[in-house]
């Protein structure tokens, strides 16, 4: 499966492997993109898949995601992101009929059948931001990585990270006063953590003397 996004349109190229042949013909499918158990977009297409032989089928599902939906996703996202892609295949059963003095022919029964499958699709945070958010018509995001020292007795920068997440949430909603407030809390937290780290290093050096 491959995924693409151009101007808020994300597409999934899927491959269906038919390993167990069945007398069925697909005449169309519907795909639903879900996030946090909520449908955010759907895609419908007429298609002609024959399941009566073993082979591979490539098919594509395209979803146009509006900015308000992207904003809602961003407000709920915590680091990596996970979607559920539900696909419904509409099928008609084949029936083989023998006509005297002629070869067998295929007839299609009139009543349709439905087969559904759900795929879980995960995007790493870096991929989502760089290839989807920053290539959409939504605001651009800078992804920063902060190396954290390993101090077993310190909850290093956890308060700062929490405050940054809150600042991001209010930034998306346009509440810039609260963004500034949470960023100030980040600076205060970093200053306090720096003092604690320096004290820990000092104690370690003294214990080694």
- Judgement on whether residues 150 and 126 belong to the same structural domain of the protein: no
Instruction: Please report whether residue 138 resides in a domain.
Output: no
Predicted local distance difference test score (pLDDT) of residue 32: 92
Predicted local distance difference test score (pLDDT) of residue 202: 65
Instruction: Please report whether residue 171 resides in a domain.
Output: yes
Predicted local distance difference test score (pLDDT) of residue 140: 64
- Judgement on whether residues 31 and 69 belong to the same structural domain of the protein: yes
CB 119 within 8 A of CB 87: yes
Instruction: Please report whether residue 170 resides in a domain.
Output: yes
Instruction: Please report whether residue 10 resides in a domain.
Output: yes
Reading across the β-sheet that carries 9-17, which strands appear in turn? 2-6, 9-17, 56-64
Predicted local distance difference test score (pLDDT) of residue 141: 62
- Judgement on whether residues 116 and 38 belong to the same structural domain of the protein: yes
Instruction: Please report whether residue 95 resides in a domain.
Output: yes
What is the pLDDT tens value at each position of the chain, 209 positions in all? 555 455 677 888 888 777 777 777 888 889 999 998 889 889 888 877 777 777 777 878 888 888 888 888 888 888 888 999 999 988 887 766 555 555 655 555 656 788 888 999 898 888 888 878 877 777 666 666 655 555 444 555 677 778 888 887 787 677 888 888 888 887 777 777 666 666 665 665 566 54
Instruction: Please report whether residue 136 resides in a domain.
Output: no
Indicate the burial class of 12 (C-beta count within 10 angstroms; 0-12, 13-18, 19 or more): buried
pTM score, two decimals?
A: 0.57
Instruction: Please report whether residue 135 resides in a domain.
Output: no
CB 42 within 8 A of CB 33: yes
Tokens of 139: 């605001």
List the Cα angle 147/148/152 in 5-degree steps.
Answer: 155
Instruction: Please report whether residue 137 resides in a domain.
Output: no
Tokens of 95: 């029936």
Tokens of 76: 């709920």
CATH code at position 121: 2.60.40
- Which range marks the domain in which residue 166 is found? 146-208
Give the end of a domain, one of 79, 102, 130. Answer: 130
């Amino acid at each position: 499966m491959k995924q693409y996004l151009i101007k808020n349109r994300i597409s999934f190229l899927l491959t269906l492997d038919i390993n167990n042949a069945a007398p069925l013909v697909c005449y169309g499918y519907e795909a639903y993109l879900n996030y946090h158990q909520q449908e955010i977009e759907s895609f419908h297409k007429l298609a002609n898949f024959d399941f009566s032989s073993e082979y591979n089928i490539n098919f594509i599902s395209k979803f146009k995601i509006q900015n308000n939906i992207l904003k809602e996703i961003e407000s709920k996202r915590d680091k990596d992101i996970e979607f559920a892609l539900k696909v419904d295949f509409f099928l008609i059963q084949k029936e083989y009929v023998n006509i005297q003095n002629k070869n067998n022919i295929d007839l299609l029964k009139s009543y349709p059948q439905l087969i559904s499958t759900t795929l879980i699709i995960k995007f790493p945070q870096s991929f989502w931001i760089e290839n989807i958010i920053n290539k959409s018509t939504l605001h651009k995001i800078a992804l920063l990585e902060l190396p954290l020292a390993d101090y077993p007795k310190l909850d290093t920068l956890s308060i700062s990270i929490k405050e940054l997440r809150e600042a991001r949430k209010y930034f998306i909603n346009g509440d810039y006063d609260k963004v500034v407030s949470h960023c100030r809390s980040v600076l205060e937290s970093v200053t306090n953590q720096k003092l604690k780290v320096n004290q820990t290093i000092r104690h370690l050096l003294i214990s080694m003397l």
